[in-house]
Amino acid sequence: MARDYFAQITTPYGSVVALTRLTRQEAAAIARVAVSDRPVVDRTEDEDRECPSCGGRGGRLEKIGTRAPGRSIVITDRWVNCRPCAGTGASPAGS
């Protein structure tokens, strides 16, 4: 089994993670999860209702630009937690 594939993922916080020496199936599985726009959130039974501000996602992706040394701008996505639910995606207490 050839392990000559890789996956490079930009995390919601802007870090870049590179995974090397993957099989084709492993790389494809990582790609499917990485393009998912909904983060994995563990919820308890008390947190069944979704936050009305973020729709249960826990926040949003925000585009940010960083100026590179060559005067170009690199655009990346950054995850911003929802303030009302503190990033949990559950309905805040009292709402």
pLDDT digits (tens, 9 = 90+) for 46-88: 546 788 888 888 888 888 888 877 778 878 888 888 888 888 8
* 32 and 53, same domain (yes or no): no
pLDDT digits (tens, 9 = 90+) for 11-53: 767 777 888 888 888 888 877 776 665 555 555 555 467 888 8
* 84 Rama sector, left if φ>0, alpha if ψ -120 to 50, beta otherwise: alpha
d(CA 92, CA 95): 6
* 32 and 8, same domain (yes or no): yes
> Is residue 43, in this structure, part of any structural domain at all?
no
| Contact yes or no for 8/17 (Cβ under 8 A) | yes
Tokens of 15: 């870090």
The residues pairing with 39 across neighbouring beta strands, listed in sequence order, are none
Domain, as residue range, for 31: 1-36
Number of domains in the chain: 2
pLDDT at 24: 84
- Decide: pTM greater than 0.95: no
> Is residue 18, in this structure, part of any structural domain at all?
yes
| Contact yes or no for 7/33 (Cβ under 8 A) | no
> Is residue 81, in this structure, part of any structural domain at all?
yes
